[in-house]
Structure 1
Amino acid sequence: MTPARGPLRVVLLAVIAVGLLLIGGGAAVALGIGRGEPAPAADSVAAGFSRDMARHHLQGVEMANAALERSTDPEVRRLAFDIAETQQNQVGRMQGWLALWGLPPTAGETMAWMGAHGGHTADGGLMPGMATEEELARLRSLSGVGFDREFLRLMIRHHQGGYDMARYAAEHAAVPAVAGLAGTVAETQAAEVTTMERMLAARGGTPLPAP
Structure 2
Amino acid sequence: MINKSVNFGLLGLLAALSLNHSVQAQQHQHSPSTPASETNTMPQQQGDQHFLNMMVHHDQKTIKMADLALQKANNPQIKALATQIKTDQTKEIEQLQALYKQLYGTEVPANAMNCMGMGQGQGMGKMMSLESLQNSPNFDQEFLRTMIQHQQMSVNMAKKASETATVPQIRDFAQAIIKTQTAQIQKLQQLSPSES
- TM-score per shorter chain, which class? 0.5 to 0.7
1:146-182: CA deviation from partner (whole Å, max 9, x where unpaired): 1111100100000111111001112222222221111
- Could you state the TM-score of these two structures normalised by the residue count of structure 1? 0.62
Letter in 2 for 1:140: Q
Instruction: Give the alignment's TM-score, normalised by structure 2.
Output: 0.66
Q: 2:133 aligns with which of 109, 125, 139?
A: 139
Whichever residue aligns with residue 134 of structure 2, its letter is: R
Contact kept? 1:166, 1:186, Cα under 8 Å: yes
Question: What is the CA distance between 1:202 and its match in structure 2?
Answer: 6.4
Q: Return the structure number with greater helix share.
A: 2
CA distance in 1, matches of 2:186, 2:73: 20
Number of positions where the alignment pairs a residue of Structure 1 with one of Structure 2: 151
Which runs of 5 or more structure 1 residues have no equivalent in the other structure? 1-39, 112-120, 205-211
User: What CA distance in whole angstroms lies between the structure 2 residues aligned with 1:66 and 1:58?
Assistant: 13
Partner of 1:110: 116
Q: Identity rate of aligned residues, in percent?
A: 26
> Which ranges in structure 2 are unaligned for 5 or more consecutive residues?
1-40
Q: Distance in 2 between matches of 1:177 and 1:46?
A: 10
Give the corresponding residue for 2:162: 170
Rg larger in structure: 2
RMSD: 2.8
- Structure 1 residue 80 corresponds to structure 2 residue 86: no
Counterpart position of 1:151: 143
Tell me if the contact between 2:100 and 2:108 (Cα under 8 Å) persists in the aligned partners: yes
The aligned amino acid for 1:148 is D
